[in-house]
Amino acid sequence: MAIAYSTATEPKAVIEAILEEVLFENNTIKDGYVTFNSDIKAGTIITDESMSVTAQLYTGAALASSGTITLVDRTIVPTKLEYKQTFLQDALRSSRFKRSMKPGAFNIESSEFASTVLAKYGPNVSEDSEKIFWGGITAATQVAIAALVPGAGQGSITAATQTAIALLTPGLVDGVFAKAIYDNAAIGGYIKVTGTTVTSANIASQMALIYAKIKPEVLASTSNPPVIACPRAWRQLARIANNAVGASQQVNFEFASSDANAKCFYNGVEMLFVPTPNDLMAYSYQKSAVSWNTDLVDDVNRFETGLVVNDGDTQFVRAIYTLAANVGQATNGVLYGG
């Protein structure tokens, strides 16, 4: 595609900085919100294991078997994704970028354009990969969820969530929330918390519903504690709730500092603010159970540029990575709005 550029004519002076879109850091990768499995080229098996044991009275005789060992295999096949744009820098000859072009009609490459504009391509791709990982859903999964029979009890999807899923724009990969709701050709085994529209006035009570449903043995784990993936907008709601004026003020959320991006906890459980598919759902899980599966994690931060053809000046910028989300130990997960 061509460069979309609203340029100023013959500027007298140029401010060096270029205003860019506000980019979120890919905190899922940077801060290790999930488990990362790399060097996955094709099918890789991830096995869920659950076990129960039962004490029996010793008799000295051969006892009947008691207890269960359950294993469930999932074959992980990452989807290969590519981003590509083409552009012609000749369109920049009358702009601020001409200052960094070498003399001569053949020379139309701007080093400033490369360092200040193209350099943002990688962060944009990385941000998009995070959105896909958490909020992506394929058309096939969307159709499958639409075919489920909604209900209020455990083991069924709420009608409101089914409607919300139907309104999402389908993409190329099923993300964490899609996998939590529907996986292995069946509704997920999540612990269900019926949701509502979350506001600063009720966010504390809604977080209490999630917290109450986390299994005590999961909550007691020191090596693999639970976290809660929440919509990014809920950070602001939690801050506002903490700073309510008057008799209603209660500090329900503990922030590590006054920084805008400070870590946040509810009753000791960390809230992770991620790009959920909408502002209606949250998911409590253990980091070991949810995984980002790819060939190379750093691929989401890499891009390359070059000429489309050797005898032309049109260039390309492209990035490639592979991605598959996996949600294991589903029966320990708590899905708000499920």
**How confident is the model over 178-234, as pLDDT tens digits?**
999 999 889 999 999 999 999 999 999 999 999 999 999 999 999 999 999 999 999
Q: Is 217 exposed, middle or buried (0-12, 13-18, 19+ CB in 10 A)?
A: exposed
Rounded CA gap, 58 and 152, in Å? 44
Look at residue 144 and tell me whether its pLDDT is greater than 50. yes
Q: Helix or strand or coil: residue 229? A: strand
Look at residue 174 and tell me whether its pLDDT is greater than 50. yes
Rounded CA gap, 225 and 220, in Å? 7
Q: How far is CA 43 from the centre of its chain?
A: 22
Domain ranges of the chain: 27-50+71-336
Minimum mean pLDDT range among 59-68, 83-92, 267-276: 83-92
**Could you tell me which of 318, 322, 316, 317 has the C-alpha nearest to residue 299?**
322
Instruction: Give the CA diameter of the chain.
Output: 97
- pLDDT higher at 245 or 117: 117
Instruction: Tell me the pLDDT tens digit for each residue of 278-293.
Output: 999 999 999 999 999 9
* Mean pLDDT for the chain overall: 87
Task: Name every residue whose Cβ is closer than 8 Å to that of residue 5 and which is 6 or more positions away in sequence.
Answer: 91, 92, 95
Look at residue 7 and tell me whether its pLDDT is greater than 70. no
Question: pTM for the whole thing?
Answer: 0.85
Concatenated DSSP letters for 27-73? HHHHTT-SEEE----S-EEEEEEEEEE------SSPPPP-EEEEEEE
> Which range has highest mean pLDDT (65-69, 119-123, 276-280, 297-301)?
276-280
pLDDT score, position 80: 92
Rounded CA gap, 210 and 207, in Å? 5
Say if CB 142 and CB 168 are below 8 A apart.
yes
Rounded CA gap, 282 and 272, in Å? 10
Share of the chain above pLDDT 90, in %: 55
pLDDT score, position 315: 82
pLDDT score, position 3: 66
Using 50, 70 and 90 to split pLDDT, how confident is the model at 157? very high
Look at residue 87 and tell me whether its pLDDT is greater than 60. yes
Point out which residues pair with 27 in neighbouring strands.
Answer: none
Point out which residues pair with 327 in neighbouring strands.
Answer: 290
Share of the chain above pLDDT 70, in %: 91
pLDDT score, position 266: 98
CB atoms under 10 Å from CB of 4, counted, come to 7
Minimum mean pLDDT range among 32-46, 141-155, 222-236: 32-46
- pLDDT higher at 48 or 242: 242
Look at residue 12 and tell me whether its pLDDT is greater than 50. no
Using 50, 70 and 90 to split pLDDT, how confident is the model at 16? very low
Minimum mean pLDDT range among 35-44, 127-136, 158-167: 35-44
Using 50, 70 and 90 to split pLDDT, how confident is the model at 1? low
pLDDT score, position 2: 59
Look at residue 9 and tell me whether its pLDDT is greater than 80. no
pLDDT score, position 17: 47
